[in-house]
Chain A
Amino acid sequence: MELKTMKQEYTISLFTEDHIGILGQITIILTRRQINIDSFTASESAVKGVYLLTIVVKTTDEMIQKVARQMEKLIDVLKVFVHTDDQIIYQEIALFKVTTNGLMSGNVIDHIVRAHNAKILEVSPEYMVIEKTGHKTEIAELLNQLEPFGLLQFAKSGRVAITKQVKELNSYLKEMDEANRFKTEPTLN
């Protein structure tokens, strides 16, 4: 298949002002083009007052470029970056609630937790809560291993990502600022 038409995973890092309705505007852009959101995380960014939305979608290279431009066009959006998995450091966090009985027999629990670099957060006579931070596939592996022991609950966060690029948001903001700040008011004709 041609690279242009091949679907793959993209992480959108979208920096925005704190404006009510921005989530709606972003989802409209995606749903209108029938793009499903695999994961969505909102948080503060390193720049005060600027929020970072991390959105993971599966689509084609051509479509992701168009979508990114549509998002950047939104008035309250500061900057949109699109990355493939190799361009970012990313993590997801998962919490597992399992029956204590199932795991307590022998060294099974200790073995699984250590092997997966997971962490036990709480133990009670009925259940225990295990935390795992990692990639989706790693979390899925642990999920597979824990399931036979009686999984009571499972919850996973969206992706958070840090980009490997050298140029940070602040320098983009500065460039935009210089281009726009001291212009006279635009006129139509």
Chain B
Amino acid sequence: MHMKTETETGQAILQVNGQMHITGAEAILECLIEEGVDTIFGYPGGAIMPVYDKLMDYEDRLRHILTRHEQGAAHAAQAYAMVTGRPGICFATSGPGATNLVTGIANAFLDSVPVVFITAQVVSNLIGTDAFQETDIIGVSMPVTKWNCQIKKSQDIPEKIAKAFYIAKSGRPGPVLIDITKDAQLEKLNFKYKKCEYIRSYNPHIPIHTKAIESAAIMINHAERPLILAGHGVLISGAEDELREFAEKTGIPVASTLLGLSGFPSDHRLFTGMLGMHGNYGPNLLTNEADLIIAIGMRFDDRVTGNLKKYAKQATIIHIEIDEAEINKNVTVDVEINNDAKEALRYLIPLVNKNSFEKWIREFRICDKTEYEKVIKPETKPEKGELRMGEVVACVSELTKGEAIIVTDVGQNQMYAARYYKFTHPNSLVTSGGMGTMGFGLPAGIGAKIGRPDKPVITFVGDGGIQMTIQELGTILQYKVAVKIIVLNNNYLGMVRQWQNMFFDKRYASTELVNPDFVMISRAYGIPAKKVSKREDLSDSLEEMLNTDGPYLLEIVIEKEGNVFPMVEPGSSVSEIRLTY
């Protein structure tokens, strides 16, 4: 039986037996709508034209953000996912469109962020012929996606997209890629969508390991110097409340990884700061003094552990981690709890005793005092000399009262932002952790602001990083994305220069930058901009930026040769953390 129905767009779509008879391109868009998608980041091209053509008919339900480069779309989609908790969506065409995504895919993969990448592929009978703009993106993206697949028949689109969403979101989230041939986009199918809820070979719902959690509880109840290491998994599983309840009940101090920041309030009395290479003095030093470490949703990255041979050898280690492959990968642990952080903590909390560790916590506070005098005070309250990154971030933190979403690029700007912003709300830091992708900041700022228009979004970038994706100022112009950009300009690739300073006899090989006038560039894109170099103008300029409606770029001239401290030098133990050089 055939009948015509009116869709919401008023367009007539032929229905056959209650199923829509539509093209593959329309099916892709219908699938996205079924999955609750309303925003897509992407860039068109030859092979994906059928999808973009149909996108015009879906304008009222699917907003497409045209970036200026596919990498920008990938980073924006990731940031969107990080601030909304919903998968980011990213479109690109075949060949160079697809390969331009790779850095963004790898970035999302290392930081466990769900992004559904949809790439177009050349017509199926041309695959393997080295056709124009043909790349084996399935092969290329295999090591950096959680899952990928190619679709050559339109009828496979609904099932494969449903599977892709399920895989991206569940378990340890991650990017997935679907490569769809142009003929499959044009071919008609009878559309019916069913969300994927089960894959035989994939089991993200791990039954709670009660025995392991019970033994963990006994250890926790007997510990004298316990320390919680909270990672990104806390935020991903939405376990912020559980973490807080667990820490408050047991009185155990909490340290956070870079990506775990904002999972526990920075101003909480039990918070001891950030772990790792440029983390805080206390949690690094005292990792090697703790008798029990409770690692939650983190993967003992080398930037966190320093020299593994000298990492927490004295401690019993409990590891709560949803990805079994991460357990015993870098650090051998005593209790494996291969579960979702939230579920494990919920089971654990009733089993632990109310306790407090005031003497142990005092040791952290002594470290804090030392760090404050030696590092934090000179960084955030310098009285003379040129502006420092630390005081800029501290000022932003004060002016926004922790209410902003902070986005960073990679390098010194990132470490300063992570160290000196006081995070109070979950998912208020968007940064490139595992991959350390320069150029992430600007497009990620766009994605974050589009995902959370209700929040001020401030992106910190260096003069090097912004120029890797500076074309995205065009995206800000086109869509009036009200992101605030702070360019911390020291005319250097600061972090690399710092390493040259410390480990390569101050031989500054290819790290000094001759920069364009960022203010002029910004204004050329219609974005109000200002340059500030004097301490007395800093606070007012930042306030002006925050009070301006719409986007804004503030270039801040920073002392040329500032170094981030403390630092756990490569090859050193966390307890050998240095406060000065």
Contacts and interface: CB of A to CB of B under 8 A. Distances in A.
Interface in A168-189: 173, 176-177, 179-181, 183-189
Given A75-B146, A183-B197, A69 B203 contact: no
Contacts of B238: 187-189
Interface of A: 16-17, 19-21, 24-25, 28, 32, 65-66, 69-70, 72-73, 75-78, 173, 176-177, 179-181, 183-189
22 contacts: A21-B138, A24-B139, A24-B142, A25-B142, A32-B143, A69-B325, A69-B329, A72-B324, A73-B324, A73-B325, A75-B147, A75-B199, A78-B200, A78-B201, A176-B200, A177-B200, A179-B203, A180-B202, A183-B197, A188-B173, A188-B238, A189-B427
B115 to A, nearest CB: 12
B170 A186 contact: yes
- Of B139, B149, B325, B427, chain A has the most CB atoms within 10 Å of the CB of B325
A19 to B, nearest CB: 8
Contacts of B167: 75
Contact of B169 (A25, A179, A186): A186
B16 interface: no
Interface string B162-195: 0000110111010000000000000000000001
Interface string B467-507: 00000000000000000000000000000000000000000
Nearest to B82: A188
A72 B200 CA distance: 13
Nearest to B168: A188
B207 A17 contact: no
Contacts of B199: 75
The 3 closest A-B pairs by CB, nearest first: A189-B85, A69-B325, A188-B85
A33 to B, nearest CB: 12
Contacts of A65: 328
B114 A188 contact: yes
Contacts of A72: 324-325
B114 A179 contact: no
The secondary structure that dominates the B interface is loop
B12 to A, nearest CB: 32
Contact of A179 (B142, B146, B207): B207
A162 B195 CA distance: 38
Given A66-B325, A188-B238, A189-B238, A75 B201 contact: yes
B169 A188 contact: yes
A187 B195 CA distance: 13
A81 to B, nearest CB: 15
Given A66-B325, A186-B170, A75 B202 contact: yes
A70 B202 contact: no
Contacts of B323: 73
A67 B538 CA distance: 52
Contacts of A173: 200
A75 B202 CA distance: 5
B206 interface: yes
A189 B201 CA distance: 25
A64 to B, nearest CB: 12
A187 B171 CA distance: 10
A179 B205 contact: yes
B202 to A, nearest CB: 5
A28 B173 contact: no
Contact of B142 (A17, A21, A177): A21
Contacts of A66: 325, 328-329
A72 B323 CA distance: 11
Contacts of A24: 139, 142
Contacts of B85: 187-189
B36 to A, nearest CB: 11
Contacts of B324: 69, 72-73
A53 to B, nearest CB: 13
B135 to A, nearest CB: 15
A77 to B, nearest CB: 6
Given A173-B200, A183-B205, A188-B173, 14 more contacts: A16-B201, A17-B201, A21-B149, A25-B142, A69-B324, A72-B325, A75-B199, A76-B201, A176-B200, A177-B200, A181-B198, A186-B205, A187-B169, A188-B169
Contacts of B198: 180-181
A78 B238 CA distance: 28
Contacts of B200: 17, 78, 173, 176-177
- Of B147, B166, B167, B206, chain A has the most CB atoms within 10 Å of the CB of B147
Contact of A185 (B146, B150, B197, B206): B197
- Of B149, B150, B202, chain A has the most CB atoms within 10 Å of the CB of B202
Given A69-B324, A180-B198, A28 B142 contact: yes
B236 interface: yes
B204 interface: yes
B578 interface: no
B86 interface: yes
A185 B327 CA distance: 25
Contacts of B201: 16-17, 75-78
Contacts of A28: 142-143
Contacts of B205: 179-180, 183, 186
Contacts of B325: 66, 69-70, 72-73
A183 B207 CA distance: 11
A186 B204 contact: yes
Contacts of B143: 28, 32
Contacts of B202: 75-76, 180
Contacts of A69: 324-325, 327, 329
B78 to A, nearest CB: 13
A75 to B, nearest CB: 4
A183 B169 CA distance: 14
A104 B85 CA distance: 76
Contacts of A73: 323-325
Contact of B195 (A20, A75, A77, A185): A185
Contacts of B147: 75-76
A179 B343 CA distance: 14
A188 B328 contact: no
A70 B149 CA distance: 19
Contacts of A183: 197, 205
A173 B201 CA distance: 8
B577 to A, nearest CB: 28
A35 B297 CA distance: 29
A173 B202 CA distance: 10
Nearest to B171: A186
Contacts of B204: 180, 186
Nearest to B330: A66
A69 B326 CA distance: 9
